[in-house]
Amino acid sequence: MPSVVGLLEQHELAARCRVDGLREEADRIQAELALAELEWQEWVIARRRVDAVLAPDGGGSTAGTEVPDPRAAGVPSAPRDAAKPKSQVPVWREGLAWSVLSVDYQRILQALADRDQLHQGPLTCQEMAVMFGLDAVPAKVEALRSKAKRLVARGWLAERAPGRFMLAKAVAGQGGES
């Protein structure tokens, strides 16, 4: 008859082997995920660059007072009257340009406008962090969530399901030139 300690050691060894196997699998999946995210980011950059080259003005800037469509240049515009970092987010109203927002907020709108243009669904803050090249650590994700929630409260974004953000219908309807 085997001893109780021997049986416990056998179970412990089996559990440790399972944990080691799962860790190896998790490491493999994490590495594969990192490569897939890198490839995805490269495609996003490529598409934005092609959009900029194919823009009606050939990728240059317009001299008029009109704020260009941020999707055309791939980067939100920052005219001299653009909001400064840490500034207030105004309540959205028709005709209000994206340039009144700080660059961080414009970046969120740009990501969601790209998704809207491709008829893709909403984004989570963790997905946005990855898109922006940030580490998807709680501090970075929560900072994005705070900004996204502020944009929801001011009418720029909609949150149809908890934690899933998209452009508000009126903002999306203007094609980003709001």
| Model pLDDT for residues 98-126, shown as the tens digit of each residue | 888 888 899 999 999 988 888 888 999 99
- What is the predicted pLDDT for the residue at 96? 84
- What is the predicted pLDDT for the residue at 81? 41
The set of residues, in sequence order, having a beta carbon less than 8 Å from that of 117 and lying 6+ positions away, is 71
Chain-centroid distance, C-alpha 80: 26
pLDDT band for 87, please (50, 70, 90 cuts): low
Indicate if the pLDDT at residue 7 is higher than 90. yes
- What is the predicted pLDDT for the residue at 60? 53
Indicate if the pLDDT at residue 157 is higher than 90. yes
Token digits for 150?
């502020």
- What is the predicted pLDDT for the residue at 77? 40
Q: Minimum mean pLDDT among 15-29, 75-89, 110-124, 135-149: which range?
A: 75-89
| Contact present, 82 and 128 (Cβ < 8 Å) | no
Q: Which phi and psi (to 5°) does residue 131 adopt? A: -60, -35
* pLDDT (mean) for 74-82: 41
